[in-house]
Amino acid sequence: MKVRETALPGVLILEPRVFGDSRGFFIETFQTERYAALGITQPFVQDNHSRSARGVLRGLHFQRSRPQGKLVRVSRGCVFDVVLDINPDSPTCGQHASAILSDDNHLQMWVPPGYAHGFCVLSEIADFEYKCTDYYQPQDEGGVLWNDPALAIDWPVSEPKLSDKDRQNPTLQTLLEGSQS
């Protein structure tokens, strides 16, 4: 497996080996020992699968008191995937890492606990799958406004399809100011 570090501590872009021939392909999407060697040692407790149409943007999401690590990938289609550092004590707070994840490139992104995460769909349909290191707690969920100008994320969509909740997320500065009070 090829591994690329990003500018954010612990955030990795992973390229698993793909074994293909005229019949199709085989890919190992997770193997405990191999991923532990990369520092991904937390146990995964939940697998999620979402399907979204072109232009849908989900995020930027995180959990406040029980942060989830996420190993994300796309099994069908193509997305622009973003990880945002929201830790006010981090030297990279407010910075992000991004990658195109698709069923063609088979890339995965490791999002350690404590980061915000989001993606937008570039293909007609995308199936987005991810393993989580903690259980989803709806009352614990937080978010950052996807188009916060201070973040300078170059989203490849100008008018995404958003949930009402994501439309109302605060800017990172507002979020951080609220957590200090």
- 81 Cβ contact list (under 8 Å, min separation 6): 72, 98, 99, 100, 101, 109, 117, 118, 119
pLDDT of the residue at 39: 93
pLDDT of the residue at 180: 58
Catalytic residue among 35, 61, 106, 115: 61
DSSP 82: E
pLDDT of the residue at 143: 97
Please state the length of the chain: 181
Asked about 135 being catalytic, the answer comes back as no
CB 57 within 8 A of CB 128: no
Instruction: Give the DSSP letter string of 45-56.
Output: -EEEEEEEETTB
Show the domains of the chain with their CATH numbers. Answer: 2-180 (2.60.120.10)
**pLDDT tens digit at each of 181 positions of the chain:** 999 999 999 999 999 999 988 998 899 899 999 999 999 999 999 999 999 999 999 999 999 999 999 999 999 999 999 999 999 999 999 999 999 999 999 999 999 999 999 999 999 999 999 999 999 999 999 999 999 999 999 999 999 999 999 999 999 999 999 875 4
- Sign for the CA dihedral angle at 12, 47, 74, 52 comes to negative
**CA dist., res. 13 & res. 110, Å (int):** 6
Asked about 61 being catalytic, the answer comes back as yes
pLDDT of the residue at 178: 84
Q: Global pTM?
A: 0.94
Give me the amino acid identity at 152: A
- Cα 2 to chain centroid distance, Å, stands at 19
State the CB neighbour count (10 A cutoff) for residue 112.
Answer: 19
